[in-house]
Chains A and B, each alone.
Chain A
Amino acid sequence: DAGVIQSPRHEVTEMGQEVTLRCKPISGHNSLFWYRQTMMRGLELLIYFNNNVPIDDSGMPEDRFSAKMPNASFSTLKIQPSEPRDSAVYFCASSPRGQSQDTQYFGPGTRLTVL
């Protein structure tokens, strides 16, 4: 079975540009999470969705960040405009319904560099 798919794997952009990160969760999973990982701050939860509905976006750093989940198989995280301090690895994770709902399955991440 395919795991969580993220694209692109690497993104290099210039300050002020719009960046869109994409995630396809595991089929049948109903929860999706976006994380950011940096050396300074470790792993931070940005936002999570349940049944395509945003449940908690308190981790989104500021209005430049937005996330959508238009259907059960796709989510985007957008940064507009991007800044050098947004450089990080961004992970998407999904979790299933039922007894294993507390286990999250992570994608390989998108390494974002903002120059």
Chain B
Amino acid sequence: GNSVTQMEGPVTLSEEAFLTINCTYTATGYPSLFWYVQYPGEGLQLLLKATKADDKGSNKGFEATYRKETTSFHLEKGSVQVSDSAVYFCALTPFSSGSARQLTFGSGTQLTVLP
């Protein structure tokens, strides 16, 4: 079946530090890959996505590249801010030509950025 493995948290960084959160997946075919972010007390929000190999998703200074050869989708940001403190979830949907597809989530990584 499909699965997503994220690096364990929590991760604590100082402001302006470089961030990497590792994510690897197991899936058949060509899944779509996502990073969602959950701020305290809120629902999940889509941060970025990539739908095919070598695609790079980017948003708000965050980037992730779909690497099929290593089945990875690592999240990076060059300079984090205090406002980036949140829980980050890696997720995938399987390839399908049909309608709605289920998201399979990783366990989430708590990020805390200190001023």
| B: number of interface residues (CB 8 Å) | 21
- For window 16-49 of chain B, which residues contact chain A by CB distance below 8 Å? 32, 34, 36, 41-46, 49
In angstroms, Cα B93 to Cα A33, docked, is 14
- For window 31-60 of chain A, which residues contact chain B by CB distance below 8 Å? 31, 33, 42-43, 45, 48, 50-51, 55-56
Interface residues on A, range: 20 to 34
Inter-subunit contact A105/B99 (CB<8 Å)? no
Given A48-B100, A102-B32, does the pair A108, B43 have CB atoms closer than 8 Å?
A: yes
Inter-subunit contact A31/B100 (CB<8 Å)? yes
Instruction: Select which of B51, B99, B107 is within 8 A of A97 by beta carbon.
Output: B99
B residues with CB within 8 A of A = 32, 34, 36, 41-46, 49, 51, 89, 93, 99-103, 105, 107-108
